[in-house]
Amino acid sequence: MTMAKSVAIASAEQPAAATRNGAFVAGAWRSTGALVLIAAAVALPFTISNYHVFELTQVMIYAIAVLGLNILTGYNGQISLGHGGFYAAGAYTAAILMHRYGVPYWATLPPAAVICFALGVLFGLPALRFEGPYLALVTLAMAVATPQLLKYFDTWTGGQQGINLIKVQAPAFLGIGRDRWLYLVVLTVLLVAMRVAANMLHGRTGRALVAIRDHPIAAAAMGIDVARYKTLAFGTSSLFTGVAGALSAIVIGFVAPESFTLFLSLSFLVGSAIGGIATIFGAIVGGLFIEFVPNIANDISDAAPWAIYGLTMLLFMYVMPRGVVGSLAGLMRRVQSRRATAGQGLEEQKRRLS
């Protein structure tokens, strides 16, 4: 239900013409649609090979990370080039808890969430002083420093060698393999994350975040505590991305500094922009892009895969400047409003004629 709703609501503009009854019917349709989608997502891994299941699991992990970045950059207008750092923090929290303290994998997600939220808030405080490109630079510094910091604290992180984790096993009574089980675990986290994000972004908090993005002075004049909301956005965003990092450590079964380079941070931003900044569904498109486009580019040309990657990115931004989901939602709204105005015109004609 939330998923379908989010597409329309992401615009933060409700179609004004809809009657109460109409809204109710549309809501029911949306809930049914969402349930069908979820059922399909649950059934999907049982129809494809383990490798494709693994790929889709990766897509969903990236989607959660992009969703996190979207809260910060899309809704709140704070650009981060350093979310790979929070992703790494989540991954290492999970890895260290599993490896050193024998914590079961599922129990590492809440601590990863808490730690990354705290890190995000801490990072958000000094970030209050920076705007636009300056903030981008500060976060860039974090992305660049992450791999080296991980090597420096090698008593905890295993340094260059990283940490090898015991492979997760599916509960025996289910009788399904590891890949399918992890897919379902990650799918559950993704759905919860989307629901939480929708609740947050489609209410007062979301409006406050958007207001701050669009006009911070006006927002402050309206009584919005700008500093508080900005810090909150940083914390929540980092929480989402950190949980994604923890899931990635669990699914890959290995963490090393080289896993969290600057390119990862940039990929999140690319995914966010391509999917549709300030949309919730866009995160999934972003995840698909991060996972598949580099591979497809490599299959097309061994010699210049990154040129093809770049071209694809340009093409997307040219055709759909507001991201895939953002542009599609915009298109749908335009169609709807045209229909509505067409309807209005008819009414008017009738009135004149009568």
Partner 1 sequence: MTMRKIMVAGLSAAVLVAASSVAWAAGQYSPGASDSEIKIGNTMPYSGPASSYGVIGKVDAAYFAMINEKGGINGRKINFISKDDSYSPPKTVELVRQMVEQDQVLLMFNTLGTPPNMAIHGYLNENKVPQLFLATGADQWNDPKHFPWTMMWLPSYGNESHIYASYILKNLPNAKIAVLYQNDDYGKDYLNGLKAGLGDKAAKMIIATQSYETTDPTVDSQIVALQASGADVLLTAAIPKFAAQSIRKVYDVGWKPTHFLNSVGNAVGTVMKPAGLEKGVGIISAAFAKDPTDPQWQSTPEYKEWLAFMNKAGLSANTTDVQAVIGYSFVQTMVEVLKACGDNLTRENVMKQAASLHNVKLPMLLPGIMLSTSADDFDPIKQMQLQKFDGTTWQLFGDVLSASGS
Neighbours of 194 (CB within 10 A): 20
Distant-in-sequence, close-in-space partners of 333: CB < 8 Å, separation ≥ 6: 11, 13, 15
Q: Of the two residues 51 and 173, which places its CB atom closer to partner 1 in the complex?
A: 51
Q: Of the two residues 127 and 251, which places its CB atom closer to partner 1 in the complex?
A: 251
Residue 161 Cβ vs partner 1, minimum distance, rounded to whole Å:
5
Residue 88 Cβ vs partner 1, minimum distance, rounded to whole Å:
12
Residue 291 Cβ vs partner 1, minimum distance, rounded to whole Å:
8
Distance CA 87, CA 93 (A): 10
Residue 43 Cβ vs partner 1, minimum distance, rounded to whole Å:
21
Residue 337 Cβ vs partner 1, minimum distance, rounded to whole Å:
43
Rg (Cα) of the chain, in Å, rounded? 22
> Which chain residues interact with partner 1 by CB under 8 A?
49-51, 54-55, 58, 148, 151-152, 154, 159-162, 164, 167, 248, 252-259, 261, 263-264, 298, 305-306
Q: Of the two residues 194 and 297, which places its CB atom closer to partner 1 in the complex?
A: 297
CB 136 within 8 A of CB 81: yes
Q: Of the two residues 160 and 344, which places its CB atom closer to partner 1 in the complex?
A: 160
Structure tokens at 85: 């750092």
For the chain, the straight-line distance linking the first and the last C-alpha, in angstroms and rounded, comes to 43
Distant-in-sequence, close-in-space partners of 156: CB < 8 Å, separation ≥ 6: 92, 96
**4 φ/ψ angles, rounded to the nearest 5 degrees:** -70, -40
- CA torsion, points 54, 277, 70, 267, in degrees to nearest 10? 50
Residue 156 Cβ vs partner 1, minimum distance, rounded to whole Å:
13
Tokens 């109460």 correspond to: 20
Residues paired with 164 in a beta bridge: 254
Q: Of the two residues 309 and 316, which places its CB atom closer to partner 1 in the complex?
A: 309
Q: Of the two residues 103 and 252, which places its CB atom closer to partner 1 in the complex?
A: 252
